[in-house]
Amino acid sequence: MTLAMRLLSMAALALSALPQKLPLGEVPRGKVVLILQPHHDDHTTDYGMGGLIARMVDEGYEAYYVRASNDEKDGAHGYARNDIVNLRESVEGTRILGIRKVISLNWRNDYMNPIPLNELREQLIVLIRKYKPDVVLGHNPWEHYQKNPDHRQVARAMAEAWWMAGFANVHPEHAALGLQPHSAHYLYGKARLDWGLGHRPNVAIELNESQVRKKQKAYVAHLNVYANPATARAYRVALARENLAVPEWESLTDAEAAVLMEEWHMQWISRRRGAEAGVPYAEDYYVLGEFDHLPGLKEYLSKNVVAR
Amino acid sequence: MTGMRLAAVGFAALGLAGADRVVVVTAGGADYVLAAGGTLAEMAGRGAEIHVLRLTNDEKDSWRLTPEETAARARREAEAAGALLGVKSVTSLGYRAWELGAVSFTELRDRIMLFIRHHKPRTLFIPNPHTHYDRVLDRYYAGRAAEDAWRSAGVEGVQPVQAEAGLQPHITHDVYYYAPPVDPERRTPEASATFVPQPKVVEIGAGLAKKIAVAQVYVTANESLARRLEERLRTSGRRLPVLDEITPAAIRRLVEENVRGLAKLAAAGTGYAAAEEFHYAGIEFRIPASYR
């Protein structure tokens, strides 16, 4: 195959991979969202959930963040110190988004693959029964090429906990603690679109400027792992070799430039997802709705359910 | 749906002889009936000998019953449903429902494999572990173990102790993977027909009435479904008139609507009025057309 043909076929492949325009989803009516994640920074991982969390809080939701691992590997300060710093930054980052509380389960970071999944699932069920979320938000349990074992396990436990918590015969012993059965009715799954075909979002959630700004700020609250000044310094050096510079960085230290660069990244991805949905800013999700587990009844319900 | 290619195949293409044996592996509940009940009813009507292996005890899906009472009722209902469908046997392994993730994969596989080697089916029905967005992960664990049991049952060296009990290796010709139709990509053809099961739709017009009747036998889980649905609607300011009073007749009506809805979904794009959809691994799966 000639180079030209190869380039043409690559271009065709890239075009065919372009996502179709996503429908805009509304935030469901509700009071509580529970964000179930393994790590301190997963509320605003690079493809982002922070915008939706900020929007839900704007629309009246109470938000609670579950951090399933102890984050001991994330950072350069050794296990114990990383755990402390990452928890502190998690509290700060989630506060920016309007989240009320961080609940740490403290499973060992990056070693969650062999943990008893039903035990983790029970922890999530306890929290769902306590906080009674309408919406559960986390990594898409069915995404492909997810390499992080903590992401896989928490997502898989979430895939069952969100609805199973509504069945009284699931951990009936919880009743003695005053925890009544409660199902969440919506699951919002997030994943990276560039990791295979496992995550094909079905809605885009529109964000406003303020929500994107909160997402940016929440992301760079995690200075233990993001916004490394050395990265900005390396960019400056590389650009200077070609007589180039970033005007916005001229009066900034490397640390400040690194923060700005991360904020741009958050804005860029929110703008890109927005463009795909025909709005200024957005995030995309695969949403499982209240009756998606009853595919045979969906049409019947849509025609026959009426207001009281 | 772009690139959709359905293999709409009627029963003439199933190649069932009267004496064929069929094994159905199910995680529990009415899963296999809702997904494959029409096809199985037709097979039973043509004389197939069908054996169902039910892995879990269904102890959790009820309304205000203890797990023990739920499990006992669910077992009776599973056996009655099988009998009505024309199934010869329903064997329950008794694993706790919705906890298959804690069961050893190899243990589960070997128990399914024993069942396959014992009954020597020509056709297997198994939960599809490759489907997305099915929130009941027992189906995933059951399907994953059953898929390997299908493969391993023909390999002499896997669990050779079963040979001591008189069980010989057995190769099953046809496999139907079934799943609730929740995966939007379920009809997208896989990359190759060789070694990868392909979407297949089976017309079930003749078996639809039987399928509805069989699904209605699962009284305990059906009441749970109806009451949870009514509760969700009531607490969110809505109502479904048929459930204003939750009577056995209302529940049966709901189940009928569910089965009819599933049949309509599966038939979409095929010209059939009622159907079931599978991923099918038949002769194409093993032997490419160019070699036959």
Which residues on A lie below 8 Å from B62 (Cβ)? Answer: 169
Residue B270 carries which DSSP code?
Answer: T
Average pLDDT of the residues in A92-105? 97
More confident residue, A76 or B18: A76
Look at A169 and B258 and tell me if their CB atoms are within 8 Å.
no
Q: For residue B1, tell me if it sits in a domain.
A: no
Closest Cβ–Cβ partner in A166, A183, A308 for B239: A308
Which residues on B lie below 8 Å from A29 (Cβ)? Answer: 236
Which residues on A lie below 8 Å from B34 (Cβ)? Answer: 296
pLDDT in tens, B123-174: 999 999 999 999 999 999 999 999 999 999 999 999 999 999 999 999 999 9
Indicate if the pLDDT at residue B183 is higher than 50: yes
Residue carrying structure tokens 């999700």: A285
Look at B265 and A168 and tell me if their CB atoms are within 8 Å.
no
Taking the Cβ of residue A15 and every Cβ of chain B, the question of whether any pair is shorter than 8 Å is answered with no
Query: Searching chain B, which residue's CA lies closest to the CA of residue A28?
Result: B236
pLDDT at B284: 73
Confidence of residue A11 (pLDDT cuts 50, 70, 90): very low
The bridge status of strand B49-56 relative to strand B21-26 is parallel
Indicate if the alpha-carbon torsion angle B200, B206, B210, B212 is positive or negative: positive
How far is residue A181 from each of residues A20, A294, B58, B135, measured CA to CA in Å?
39, 20, 18, 18
pLDDT at A44: 85
Q: Which residues pair with A34 in a beta bridge?
A: A64, A136
Confidence of residue A144 (pLDDT cuts 50, 70, 90): confident
Please count the structural domains in chain B: 1
pLDDT at A20: 67
Q: For residue B270, tell me if it sits in a domain.
A: yes
Q: For residue B203, tell me if it sits in a domain.
A: yes
Range of the domain at B87: 8-291
Look at B60 and A296 and tell me if their CB atoms are within 8 Å.
no
A207 sits in the region (left: phi over 0; alpha: psi -120 to 50; else beta) called beta
pLDDT at A146: 86
Tell me which residue of A212, A196, A186 sits closest to A273, measured CA to CA.
A212
Q: For residue B3, tell me if it sits in a domain.
A: no
pLDDT in tens, B235-270: 999 999 999 999 999 999 999 999 999 999 999 999
Q: For residue B164, tell me if it sits in a domain.
A: yes
Mean pLDDT of chain B: 92
pLDDT in tens, A31-84: 999 999 999 999 987 577 999 999 999 999 999 999 999 999 999 899 999 999
- Looking at residue A104, its amino acid is S
pLDDT in tens, A189-248: 998 776 666 678 999 999 999 999 999 999 999 999 988 899 999 999 999 999 999 999
Q: For residue B2, tell me if it sits in a domain.
A: no
A202 — phi, psi (to 5°)? -110, -10
pLDDT at B7: 44
**How many A×B Cβ pairs under 8 Å?**
102
Tell me which residue of A184, A205, A100 sits closest to A135, measured CA to CA.
A184
Look at A304 and B182 and tell me if their CB atoms are within 8 Å.
no
Token output for B195? 């070694």
Confidence of residue A19 (pLDDT cuts 50, 70, 90): low
CATH value at residue B95: 3.40.50.10320
Instruction: Measure in Å the smallest separation between the Cα of B57 and chain A Cα atoms.
Output: 13
Cα–Cα dist A94/A164, whole Å: 27
Which residues on B lie below 8 Å from A119 (Cβ)? Answer: none
What 3-state class would DSSP assign to B275? strand
Instruction: Measure in Å the smallest separation between the Cα of B179 and chain A Cα atoms.
Output: 11
Indicate if the pLDDT at residue A4 is higher than 60: no
Look at B241 and A118 and tell me if their CB atoms are within 8 Å.
no
Closest Cβ–Cβ partner in B132, B135, B240 for A305: B240
Look at A160 and B135 and tell me if their CB atoms are within 8 Å.
yes
Average pLDDT of the residues in A115-124? 97
Q: Which of A234-238, B10-14, B63-67, B287-291 has the lowest mean pLDDT?
A: B10-14
pLDDT at B192: 73
B37 — phi, psi (to 5°)? -60, -35
Cα–Cα dist A222/B18, whole Å: 67
pLDDT in tens, B211-244: 999 999 999 999 999 999 999 999 999 999 999 9
CB of B137 within 8 A of CB of B100? Answer: yes
Which residues on A lie below 8 Å from B258 (Cβ)? Answer: 294, 296-297, 300
Closest Cβ–Cβ partner in A169, A197, A304 for B59: A169
Confidence of residue A145 (pLDDT cuts 50, 70, 90): confident
Question: Mutate which of A139, A169, A187, A298 to disrupt the B interface (most B C-beta within 10 Å)?
Answer: A169
Look at A169 and B228 and tell me if their CB atoms are within 8 Å.
no
Tell me which residue of A74, A77, A78, A89 sits closest to A43, measured CA to CA.
A89
Average pLDDT of the residues in B200-209? 94
Cα–Cα dist B191/B198, whole Å: 9
Average pLDDT of the residues in B86-114? 98
Closest Cβ–Cβ partner in A156, A167, A297 for B258: A297
Look at B66 and A305 and tell me if their CB atoms are within 8 Å.
no
Average pLDDT of the residues in A122-132? 98
Indicate if the pLDDT at residue A1 is higher than 50: no
CATH architecture of A27-206+282-290: 3-Layer(aba) Sandwich (3.40)
Q: What is the DSSP string of chain A?
A: --HHHHHHHHHHHHHHTSPPPPPBPPPPS-SEEEEEESSTTGGG-TT-SHHHHHHHHHTT-EEEEEEEE--TTSSSS-HHHHHHHHHHHHHHHHHHHT--EEEEEEEPTT--TTS-HHHHHHHHHHHHHHH--SEEEEE-TT-SS---HHHHHHHHHHHHHHHHTT-TTSSGGGGGGT------SEEEEE--TTS-SS---SEEEEE-HHHHHHHHHHHHT-TTTS--HHHHHHHHHHHHHTT---GGGTTS-HHHHHHHHHHHHHHHHHHHHHHHHTSSEEEEEEEE-TTTT-TTTHHHHHHH-EE-
Question: What is the value of ipTM here, to two decimals?
Answer: 0.92
Query: Searching chain A, which residue's CA lies closest to the CA of residue B58?
Result: A169
Taking the Cβ of residue A231 and every Cβ of chain B, the question of whether any pair is shorter than 8 Å is answered with no
Look at B261 and A297 and tell me if their CB atoms are within 8 Å.
yes
